[in-house]
Amino acid sequence: MKRMIFTLSRSTIFAASLFIAVATQALAQESGLLLLSKNFNGAITRTSAEISLSSNAECDQTKGFIPDGSKLVTLSFTMNTDNNGVGTFRGSAQIVTPDGRAVLQGSLRGTVGINSRCGQNKNCRQPWHLEGLFESISSSAERVLARAASDLRIMPMVLNFSADLNPQTASPLPIYQGRLDGLVPSLPASIDRITIATDKTGYTVNDVMTAYVVNDSAETIQAYDKRAFCTILQFQVLDGNQWNDTAFCPFKAPSLPINIAPGQKFEVLLQPTLSISPLTASVYRLALTFKFLSGNTPISDSYTVFSPQFRLAAQQPSNLVIAKPDRSVYQEGEQIVALITNDTALPILTTDQKTFCSIVNVQKLATSNNWTNSSPCLLAAPTRQVRLAAREEITVKLPNDNASPKLSAGTYRLEFIYWATDAGGNPIGNPITVYSSTFNVIAKE
């Protein structure tokens, strides 16, 4: 009898929970907002936060535009605590989808080390527990969303943020797990119809670049100039795992609004001379921050879309595969550094287990004017394929930091053997061999 009563109680609780979830979702839909309910896991330090989001299947209504794998990242963040893990945190933050779109922006703030549910027999201190709010940077409660069938007020976004340290991780960074719950305005479908493209997939640092903003939606969008190269676009460089704005406009004049009409393809010239600092060879992308308009009135918060990535090279590509040492003369016993550059538009394949078990043969000039391979690999391991991406340069240390012996005195060259690949990345044709210029290893005095 007791077992039956217990089963009935669990069923009743489940039904009540389901009723509350359904009722909450219905209330959110009636208000024109969506229920956001995410679990998260990631690193939170005193100066930054980057956490990965996954949907709570029972409640979350935002998976369509905030899919699993999206991240909450901070643009500026500070956590001030005492040695007992009690204090406050605050900073600006945004939620970015896996394809790089910043879909929600706001401020993150709250307390550290406080148990908000403390009371009788419960400690009010909970070291390193984070609890707070992620909310809109500026309220848009008075703006009317004219696209809807009826006038809906866009309410401020308010999300509850709660996180605790995960003691089971071995990361050098503090890893937190927690929840993000609240109500957010739904993104208009039109945002996917605003795109940015460049006229080429690669440039040199001194090229004038041409980009196109295409408004394929049914509404006018508005952006502001005096951004990168004094245009409406942001120019972002990849620094590790983070994108940073660069190429700032040297003029201090006020920014002016630029409207792009429905169906318009808006051309933007990006001139390196209109930047406060020179560009460097790296990976870049373009970003556009804009609002939708009704007449001349903004009717939404700001959205940001990004272009595909592209690369700036220091000079025009040679379309060659190049092997070269970093110097022309080395002391006997000194480590050689080989630079292997795939300066072509497609990946190439090579194999390892060559000199010092690397991907290159180091060949020594013998007295008979023949070239012989030096220091063959002694590992009884299977040969592996190694892929070099298009326009990629890698460094090969010969030998590596722990290997011995080093190369003896003499004249040497590098031999690099590779295969070209097709569009699917598969090797094609016969192997191709390239050689470096010669270099010398001289005896120690």
The least confident of 129-133, 186-190, 418-422 is 186-190
Q: What is the pLDDT of residue 105?
A: 83
CB atoms within 10 A of CB 280: 11
The whole-chain average pLDDT of the chain stands at 83
Closest by CA position to 220, among listed 283, 148, 285, 296: 296
The mean pLDDT of 220-248, rounded to a whole number, is 92
At residue 266 the predicted structure's pLDDT band, cuts being 50, 70 and 90, is: very high
At residue 125 the predicted structure's pLDDT band, cuts being 50, 70 and 90, is: confident
Q: What is the pLDDT of residue 230?
A: 95
CB atoms within 10 A of CB 358: 21
Structure tokens given for 147: 């696209």
In the block, tokens 């000079």 appear at 315
In the block, tokens 């050098």 appear at 172
Q: Is pLDDT of 103 > 60?
A: yes
CB atoms within 10 A of CB 95: 25
Q: What is the pLDDT of residue 137?
A: 60
Q: What is the pLDDT of residue 9?
A: 44
Left, alpha or beta for 308 (phi > 0: left; psi -120 to 50: alpha)? beta
Q: What is the pLDDT of residue 425?
A: 82
Q: What is the pLDDT of residue 58?
A: 83
Left, alpha or beta for 28 (phi > 0: left; psi -120 to 50: alpha)? alpha
Q: What is the pLDDT of residue 200?
A: 86
The mean pLDDT of 113-135, rounded to a whole number, is 83
pLDDT tens track for 397-409: 988 765 556 788 9
Structure tokens given for 158: 């308010």
pLDDT: is 252 or 348 the higher one? 348
Q: What is the pLDDT of residue 20?
A: 41
Distance CA 302, CA 401 (A): 51
Distance CA 207, CA 364 (A): 42
Closest by CA position to 129, among listed 159, 158, 91, 167: 167
pLDDT: is 184 or 337 the higher one? 337
In the block, tokens 């809906």 appear at 152
At residue 297 the predicted structure's pLDDT band, cuts being 50, 70 and 90, is: confident
Do 253 and 274 touch, CB atoms closer than 8 A?
no
Q: What is the pLDDT of residue 300?
A: 64
Q: What is the pLDDT of residue 100?
A: 78
Q: Read off the amino acid at residue 72.
A: L
The segment with the largest mean pLDDT, out of 71-80, 113-122, 413-422, is: 413-422
What is the widest separation between alpha-carbon atoms in the chain? 98
Q: What is the pLDDT of residue 16?
A: 43
Going from the N-terminus, what domains does the chain have, and what CATH number goes with each?
Answer: 28-187 (no CATH), 190-313 (2.60.40.10), 321-442 (2.60.40)
Q: What is the pLDDT of residue 329?
A: 93
Closest by CA position to 323, among listed 375, 362, 280, 365: 362
Q: What is the pLDDT of residue 120?
A: 63
Do 239 and 212 touch, CB atoms closer than 8 A?
no
Q: What is the pLDDT of residue 184?
A: 83
| SS3 per-residue string spanning the chain | CHHHHHHHHHHHHHHHHHHHHHHHHHHHHHCCEEEEEEEEEEEECCCCEEEEEEECCCCCCCCCCCCCCCEEEEEEEEEEECCCCCEEEEEEEEEECCCCCEEEEEEEEEEEEECCCCECCECCEEEEEEEEEEEECCCCCCCEECCCCCCEECCCCEEEEEEEECCCCCCCCCEEEEEEEEEEECCCHHHHHEEEEECCCEEECCCCEEEEEEECCCCCEEEECCCHHHCCCEEEEEECCEEEEECCCCCCCCCCEEEECCCCEEEEEECCCCCCCCCCCEEEEEEEEEEEEECCEECCCCEEEECCCEEEECCCCCCCEEEEECCCEEECCCCEEEEEEECCCCCEEEECCCHHHCCCEEEEECCCCCEEECCCCCCCCCCCEEEECCCEEEEEEECCCCCCCCCCCEEEEEEEEEEEECCCCCEEEEEEEEECCCEEEECCC
CA 293 remoteness from chain centre: 30
Structure tokens given for 428: 């094609």
Do 24 and 16 touch, CB atoms closer than 8 A?
no
User: Which residues 6+ apart lie within 8 Å of 242 measured at CB?
Assistant: none
Burial class (CB in 10 A: 0-12, 13-18, 19+), 338: buried
